[in-house]
Amino acid sequence: MTQTRRPANAVSRFVIEYPLIPIGVALIVLFSLLQPHFFSVTNLVNILTQSSVLLIAATGMTYVVLTAGIDLSVGAMMFLAAALVAALLTAGVPPVLAVILAPLLTIILGAFNGTLVAKAGVPAMLVTLATLQVFRGIGGHLTEQQSIVLPAEVRFLGTGDVLGIPRAVIVAAIVVAVGSYVLRRTRFGRHVQALGSNPNGAWNAGLPVSGLLIAVYSVAGLCAGIAATVQIGRLGAVQPTLDLGFELTVVTAVVLGGTSLNGGQGTVFGTAIGAIILTVVENGLVLSGASPYLFDIVRGAVLLAAIVGAGIPKQLAAFLTRRGGARAPVTS
Amino acid sequence: MTARPGGSPDYALDVRGVTKTFGAVKAVSEVSFSIAPGEVVALAGENGAGKSTIKNLIGGLIHPDSGEILINGGPQGTSVADLRSQGVTTVHQEISLFPHLSVAENVLLNHMDRYPALGLSPRRMRADALQYLDQVGAHFDPAVTVADLSTGQRQLVEIAKALADEPRILVLDEPTSSLNLAERAKVAELVERLSADGVAILYIGHSLDELFQLSHRIVVMRDGAKVADQPTGELTRARLEELMVGRELAAGYPELAPHQERVALSVRNLGDGGTVSDISFDIRAGEVFGLAGLMGAGRTEVARAIFGLAQRTGAVTVHDDPIADNPRAAISAGVAFVTEDRRDEGIYIERPIRETLNSVVLPVRIRALGIIDKKAERKNAAARAQEMQLTARGGLEANGGSLSGGNQQKVVIGKWLTSAPRVLILDEPTRGIDVGAKAEIYRALVALAAEGMAVLLISSEMEEVIGLSHRVGVMAQGRLAGIVDRSEADQARIIRLATGGAA
Amino acid sequence: MKLTKTAGVVAAAATLLLLAGCGTTQNQAGTGSSDDKLTIGVSFDLVNDIRSAELASIKDAAKKQGDTVEFVSADQDAQKQASQIQDLVQTKKVDALIVIAANNDQIASSIALANSAKVPFIAIDRAVSGGDVTFQVTGDPVADGKLAAKEALAVAGDNPTIIQLVGALTDQNAIGRRDGFTDGVKAAGKTVAAEVPTDWDPSKALDGTSNALQANPKVNTIFIPSDYLLPSVQSALQAAGKLKPVGDPGHITIVTIDGDPNGCKAIKDKTIDSDIVTPVDSFGEQAVAAAHTAHGGKSVSPAEAQVAGFALNQANASTTLSKTWGCNTK
């Protein structure tokens, strides 16, 4: 009979839950050696800024993946949100209002995704592949396939800083913090994780499964909308290929962060680390001056190493706990 | 247990003439019985008798085609949540826990409205969960993730979870199948206490001893109908078995043939680098060697170490040939290992039975290309099914999941027989299996031993171990406390050794 | 009497339909005359302003000839493009094809299909190879790159620190422009300080440029191979506090290619120094003309035309703005 294998040591517990952290540290060391500039305050702040959009979108996606679902329409939702802002501005809507309306729209888009997944019994991957096309199409229609430069007044979430911290980073930090808290400390969050952990059990326990599903996709939509407003803040323009394929990057960040595609397992914090590591890699590659032809290869190799490396600490931990005979501590 | 005066006029649970049909099969037919507050009624029957259907009807997962179920004299609620507020809670056999959540979260999942929706306090939840965990004697940290618990510990959490509902009607389905002696005793205590509190309890189980020990009345089902409803005191074990199976069962265990002299399996100073160490014993060809002990004593670990699934220290030889520390080597040497978790590790639930039966040794027509010889595959499957007297209603092409627990177990044992092993290790082979199927498995084991198979039998059912083994090894805290010959083996002696006393 | 007339008309119409139906599968190239009104199948994506302008120029040229344009967009997916071209040729039975290949290697099967159906295959904007291409008119990415280098060095002076953005490496134009620029710089005895790969993605351009600015704080020249990425670069500069207009001592020289509406505006606003304009109108005119020539049975000669861009910069803005397609769109 298997006994509990939980290491008593808090440090090793932390490392096992977030195996990416040592990997991230290793990457940072590596890139710093290749290019001393890498380890400067400016660059590190840059990395945080550059990862902000991904951080926000990936937080929402974490909820979806926790239910063993997936939302491939994220990039298209972000594009549509950006296109909507542009359209609203042209129609004379005040910039601040336009920026607020974008996430409201994407919540509805997300709810739409969620309703199809919950009620139509179609796998999430297929549903969101289809809505991806629809959203992109609508966005393309709104922008008439033109690149549209946006005025400075809508860019406030992506430009400027508060007390030296870029606004984009602040928004990302808030989203990550709230996302993590809601998941861990609210009834809703616990129900979401329960649903992914044991779907049958959830039904039998009378959990509001449909409602939960619609909610998580709406959360993903909301985060996509917020991410979009930060993104247009940074970019200052909406181009027809905006966020094309971005959904894959988002899912990569989520999976890299330890959230299982089978549902039930994962944390927002882990996703955040995954997102930052992806950005560290991009940043490091450019700074190291490597030939662009090598970028794809190197990026893939680093990801592979990170994934394998993330597995090693788990095995190491299993090995260590076997020795120590650690069990669930008996209280009496 | 002394019989309580027959229930008060107002029954807590009143099942009246319920019938439920699934497709062409009448699972339950015109069944009626009732339970008064404080009464413990056992529901006995073979697999397929309709116990699960009754349980699900009471639990609100399905609804009767005709007849009705009354709760406290009033109509039964329609959903599980409604029933919960009526005071009805079911502890199902399949674990319905959420592995990635903590013990506390699992126990309190249906009662999170006791806490602020936007700010669950882990500390408060842990403290509250501990209350219920204590009642079942589960002394582990509620902050632990359920995935890290053993099967027995999980079962305790399931029961604690039911207690959190503070039910007035409790349905328990095989609540102790993964528990050791001490834990079972705790659950028995709990049942008594709840009953004294006026909780009506429906207890479904396969351990007839338990049913006799805990219940006031026993309701027996067979083939969907109720065949008996009597106070426990009026039944004997033999009579109960008869009622369940519908025919007279041969008493006890099949007779063991004497074993041979040569040693089939030899284990010296075996350890697995953690739980067990310094284990040494021999099993001769044709001998059944039982391995008894409390849960956690390390019996499964010994089996895993022999089979090469752990970091083994010490030596293992099969018919004088040492074997390397990996399953492949063990299998080639003729060792077979039937694990305790047949659903997860032993049988393909969603694939045809034929595939499971052939999964240890695949007949391949052309080795190099790895093409399967379909004819040989079918032939082998049929032979194994015959050998184990397997009754698969849907034929060998039906999914593994369509079989009853007993038949599934036969499939798992059968698949190993393909490789014509010389040593068969069985870990809890009759857990969760009804009386009829158990008898068949006993017969098969004894027959295999008579043909020269060396058998290592791990079981938590003391009676079973003693009844089937030539010798019994007793494990205690990772060590082999002693080996007792059949002639001297009795429950008291084994328990003494298992709990650290001297033989 | 009316009945007979009606019957006659119906009969005539029916006969015409029958003839049209069971006649040859389509107008064979060379069997018509160059004065016919053609149905032209046009296949490319609409991902940026230049594409819209190219489509507009084809439509204008076609209108003048009385032709119909059947436009399909494959969203940069080479497989989809192949299927769509197949539809155009076999189902819609177009008289000619004007195509921008999503992928140079994969377009070969479509060219072969057009060849066997005897439909003239005309490529614009991106050079293609592999098969009998009736006519292709492209920009001259290498020449444009070289011109860009010349423009950059003219402004940047003797000690330029150059950041060069690079487009998607699967795009011939991106490669050509990069090579042209690098050669031009090398020929002047200078070097490029940093290359930023962008995959034509605005986000990557933004992040990559910020990273490059950080690693090379003394940068004074940036080459952007397409106006499509201009907003990203400007955002990056702004975030770094380095976005200054022409004439300001802190101004970083910016040279782009394309001449799209953003580029046009940027010249007007004096935020960039030079934009190499692609003569998009010429593409449409030449392509449609070639379609008619081929349809009329003559071969098109020369079969390849490269139209180099011209420089639009602060110095010649007054006269050149009007020639720039980006300044002329609505």
B163 burial level (CB within 10 Å; 0-12, 13-18, 19+) = buried
B140 has a pLDDT exceeding 50: yes
The residue with greater pLDDT, B281 or A162, is B281
Q: Is the dihedral of CA A226, A230, A231, A232 positive or negative?
A: positive
Q: Residue A109 falls within a domain, yes or no? A: yes
Query: What is the structure's pLDDT at C10?
Result: 57
Kindly provide the b/e burial profile for residues B291-300, where b requires at least 16 CB atoms within 10 angstroms of the residue's own CB: bbbbbbbbbb
Position B365 confidence tier, pLDDT thresholds 50, 70, 90: low
Contact A50, A279 (CB under 8 A): yes
The residue with greater pLDDT, A302 or C210, is C210
C168 has a pLDDT exceeding 60: yes
Query: What is the structure's pLDDT at A227?
Result: 96
Question: B86-131: per-residue pLDDT in tens?
Answer: 999 999 877 789 999 999 999 999 888 888 888 888 899 999 999 9
Q: For tokens 């752990």, what's the residue?
A: B310
The residue with greater pLDDT, A295 or B77, is B77
CA-atom Rg of chain A in angstroms = 21
Please indicate whether, in this complex, the C-beta atoms of A235 and C232 are within 8 angstroms of each other.
yes
Query: What is the structure's pLDDT at A2?
Result: 34
Amino acid at A6: R
Please indicate whether, in this complex, the C-beta atoms of A323 and B274 are within 8 angstroms of each other.
yes
Query: What is the structure's pLDDT at A169?
Result: 94
Close Cβ partners of B148 (under 8 Å, ≥ 6 residues apart): A4, A5, A6, A328
Question: A93-119: per-residue pLDDT in tens?
Answer: 898 899 999 999 999 999 999 999 999
Residue among C48, C200, C206 whose CB faces A235 most closely? C206
Structural domain range at position A211: 43-272
Minimum mean pLDDT range among B21-25, C253-257, C274-278, C298-302: B21-25
What proportion of chain C, given as a percentage, has pLDDT over 70? Answer: 89
B311 touches A at CB < 8 Å: yes
β-partners of residue B268 are B315
Mean pLDDT of B44-62: 84
Mean pLDDT of B430-459: 86
Query: What is the structure's pLDDT at C11?
Result: 56
User: Strand ranges (DSSP E) for B304-463?
Assistant: 313-318, 321-322, 335-338, 364-366, 371-372, 423-427, 454-458
Tokens for B21, please give them. 């049909």
Separation CA B276–CA B273 (nearest Å): 7
B143 touches A at CB < 8 Å: no
CA distances from B365 to B371, B372, B397, B416, B417 (A): 6, 6, 21, 20, 20
Q: Residue A95 falls within a domain, yes or no? A: yes
Query: What is the structure's pLDDT at B501?
Result: 65
Q: Which residues of A touch B (CB under 8 A)?
A: 1-6, 185-188, 190, 193-194, 196-198, 200-202, 204-206, 264-265, 322-323, 325, 328-332
Close Cβ partners of B491 (under 8 Å, ≥ 6 residues apart): B462, B463, B466
How many angstroms away from the CA of A237 is the closest CA of chain C?
6
Q: Do chains B and A touch (3 or more CB pairs under 8 A)?
A: yes
Question: C220-242: per-residue pLDDT in tens?
Answer: 999 999 999 999 999 999 888 88
Mean pLDDT of C204-231: 91
Q: Residue A121 falls within a domain, yes or no? A: yes
Query: What is the structure's pLDDT at A17?
Result: 63
DSSP 8-state code for residue B100: T
Question: B150-173: per-residue pLDDT in tens?
Answer: 888 888 899 999 999 999 999 998
Nearest-CA neighbor of B129 among A205, A2, B120, B38?
A: B120
Nearest-CA neighbor of B173 among B215, B201, B136, B212?
A: B201
**CA-CA-CA-CA torsion for C312, C314, C318, C322, nearest 10 degrees?**
30
**CB-CB neighbors (< 8 A) of B273 in chain A:** 322-323
Q: Residue A108 falls within a domain, yes or no? A: yes
Contact A262, A66 (CB under 8 A): no
Position B367 confidence tier, pLDDT thresholds 50, 70, 90: low
Q: For tokens 């998607």, what's the residue?
A: C168
Greatest Cα pair distance in chain B: 75
C173 has a pLDDT exceeding 60: yes
Nearest-CA neighbor of B159 among B141, B142, B178, B175?
A: B175
Q: Do chains A and C touch (3 or more CB pairs under 8 A)?
A: yes
Q: Residue A155 falls within a domain, yes or no? A: yes
Residue among A35, A234, A295 whose CB faces C235 most closely? A234
**CB-CB neighbors (< 8 A) of C261 in chain A:** 146-147
Q: Which residues of C touch A (CB under 8 A)?
A: 46-49, 51-52, 166, 169, 194-197, 200-204, 206-208, 210-212, 214-215, 228, 231-232, 234-235, 238-239, 260-262, 265
A84 has a pLDDT exceeding 90: yes
Mean pLDDT of B413-439: 84
B66 touches A at CB < 8 Å: no
How many angstroms away from the CA of B297 is the closest CA of chain A?
9
Please indicate whether, in this complex, the C-beta atoms of C210 and A231 are within 8 angstroms of each other.
no
Chains that touch B (3 or more CB pairs under 8 A): A
Position B1 confidence tier, pLDDT thresholds 50, 70, 90: very low
B217 phi, psi to nearest 5 deg: -140, 155
Mean pLDDT of B189-197: 92
pTM of the model: 0.74
Position B8 confidence tier, pLDDT thresholds 50, 70, 90: very low
Total count of domains within chain A = 1
Residue among A4, A186, A202 whose CB faces B117 most closely? A186
B273 touches A at CB < 8 Å: yes
Mean pLDDT of C299-315: 87
Per the prediction, chain A carries an average pLDDT of 84
How many angstroms away from the CA of C229 is the closest CA of chain A?
9
Close Cβ partners of B450 (under 8 Å, ≥ 6 residues apart): B257, B286
Q: Residue A309 falls within a domain, yes or no? A: no
Tokens for B499, please give them. 């709990």
For A150, the closest chain C residue by CA position comes to C231
Tokens for B240, please give them. 């109960």
∠ CA C18-C24-C25, nearest 5°, is: 100
CB atoms within 10 A of CB A262: 10
Contact A211, A114 (CB under 8 A): no
Question: C113-134: per-residue pLDDT in tens?
Answer: 898 888 999 999 888 877 788 8
For B158, the closest chain A residue by CA position comes to A201
Separation CA B112–CA B133 (nearest Å): 17
Residue among A144, A240, A287 whose CB faces C211 most closely? A287
Query: What is the structure's pLDDT at A214?
Result: 96
C319 has a pLDDT exceeding 60: yes
Q: Residue A10 falls within a domain, yes or no? A: no
CB atoms within 10 A of CB B115: 18
Position B458 confidence tier, pLDDT thresholds 50, 70, 90: very high
Mean pLDDT of B277-284: 92
**CB-CB neighbors (< 8 A) of C262 in chain A:** 147, 149, 237
A305 has a pLDDT exceeding 80: no
B181 touches A at CB < 8 Å: no
**CB-CB neighbors (< 8 A) of C239 in chain A:** 49, 159, 166, 234
Q: For tokens 């970083």, what's the residue?
A: C252
Residue among B84, B99, B275 whose CB faces A197 most closely? B99
**CB-CB neighbors (< 8 A) of A200 in chain B:** 96
Mean pLDDT of A165-176: 94
Separation CA C280–CA C50 (nearest Å): 8
Query: What is the structure's pLDDT at B4?
Result: 40
Nearest-CA neighbor of A193 among A256, A267, A104?
A: A267
Please indicate whether, in this complex, the C-beta atoms of A186 and B101 are within 8 angstroms of each other.
no
CA A176 to chain centre: 9
Question: B396-417: per-residue pLDDT in tens?
Answer: 888 887 777 778 888 888 888 8
The ipTM of this complex is 0.80
Q: Residue A184 falls within a domain, yes or no? A: yes
Query: What is the structure's pLDDT at C27?
Result: 43
**CB-CB neighbors (< 8 A) of A193 in chain B:** 98, 100-101
**CB-CB neighbors (< 8 A) of A65 in chain B:** none
DSSP notation for A255-295: HHTT--TTSS---HHHHHHHHHHHHHHHHHHHHTT--HHHH
How many angstroms away from the CA of A331 is the closest CA of chain B?
6
Position A74 confidence tier, pLDDT thresholds 50, 70, 90: very high
Separation CA B429–CA B446 (nearest Å): 13
Residue among B61, B119, B153 whose CB faces A185 most closely? B119
A147 has a pLDDT exceeding 70: yes
Nearest-CA neighbor of B205 among B369, B35, B43?
A: B43
DSSP notation for C37-89: PPEEEEE----SHHHHHHHHHHHHHHHHHT-EEEEE--TT-HHHHHHHHHIII
C17 has a pLDDT exceeding 70: no
Close Cβ partners of C13 (under 8 Å, ≥ 6 residues apart): none
